[in-house]
Amino acid sequence: MAGSANLNVMMKTARKAGRALLKDFGEVENLQVSTKGPGDFVSRADRQAEETIRDELMRARPSYGFLGEEGREIAGEDPTRRWIVDPLDGTTNFLHGLPHWAVSIALEHKGQIVAGVIYDPVKDEMFYAEKGGGAWLNESRLRVSGRHKMIESIFATGLPFAGRADLPDTIRDLARILPACAGVRRFGAAALDLAYVAAGRYEGFWERGLHAWDMAAGLLIVREAGGIVEPLNPDGDIMVDRQVICANEPIFETFAKVIRAS
């Protein structure tokens, strides 16, 4: 798809950061056997990737604001536009040498996400969308899955770790959904979970405790692939409550009823 100038900047930037992260990922395995471990190295790689992304985006569009996972927010001269960036979504996977992580870049205009890019350098998969232009994976148009039976459907979520307060809710969700579906996956990178719903690899995804940078690009990509995206609490707001539920159209209602029953 021939994208806008902004989309081209986002894809070029994601590839550049992705190439550097891929090189660092190759080092992680060696570091795992060292006494210091790979923790500091990965934090550095994560911060460096954000710097690369920020420099590229700010150079191309100096008036836009910037919100990244690793740094403080930068207000732009143009208050209506800002980049929302997760330089490395799936940090824990990266740290453990698991090849499932991505760079996520979104562009927000007047409070709405208008373009999103999620790049998985290991698989060289570039998921992207612009508002009204459909969703894409590399050169192919994306469409959410056509499955309509819960029992044949696969869902993804995030499991709360390190003492997060939403553990009981998630356990209740799992107790209800597991008997009713073909499986639940926890792959550890929310941006890719959303991209996979858009690609029809899962029928749906839900998670609590996410941040804007984990979700921003993915929400647009799912919507542009024909999926339904809502706040987990129907009266809430995805970004404010930091909770989301999404699925293909035939499954959404049943799936949401099961998850929202807690």
Which residues contact ligand IPD (rule: CB under 6 A)?
69, 86, 89-91, 158, 188-190, 207, 209-210, 214
Print burial letters for 79-92: b (CB count within 10 Å at least 16), e (below 16). eebbbbbbbbbbbe
CA dihedral defined by 169, 148, 211, 11, rounded to 10 degrees? Answer: 160
**Those residues with Cβ within 8 angstroms of residue 130's Cβ, 6 or more apart along the chain or in another chain:** 3, 4, 7, 114, 115, 220, 224
Shortest reach from residue 41's CB to ligand IPD, in Å:
16
Task: Give whole-number Cα distances, 25 to 8, 102, 185, 191, 195, in Å.
Answer: 25, 12, 23, 18, 21
Q: Which is nearer to ligand IPD, 79 or 168 (CB)?
A: 168
Q: How far is the CB of 128 from ligand IPD (least distance, A)?
A: 18
Nearer to ligand IPD, 41 or 109 (CB): 41
The residue number whose beta carbon is nearest to ligand IPD equals 158
Kindly state the smallest distance separating residue 46's Cβ from ligand IPD, in Å.
8
Tokens of 150: 């819960």
State the minimum distance, in angstroms, from the CB of residue 158 to ligand IPD: 3
Query: Smallest gap, in angstroms, from Cβ of residue 195 to ligand IPD?
Result: 12
Q: Which residues pair with 103 in a beta bridge?
A: 119
Residue 118 structure tokens: 């999620």
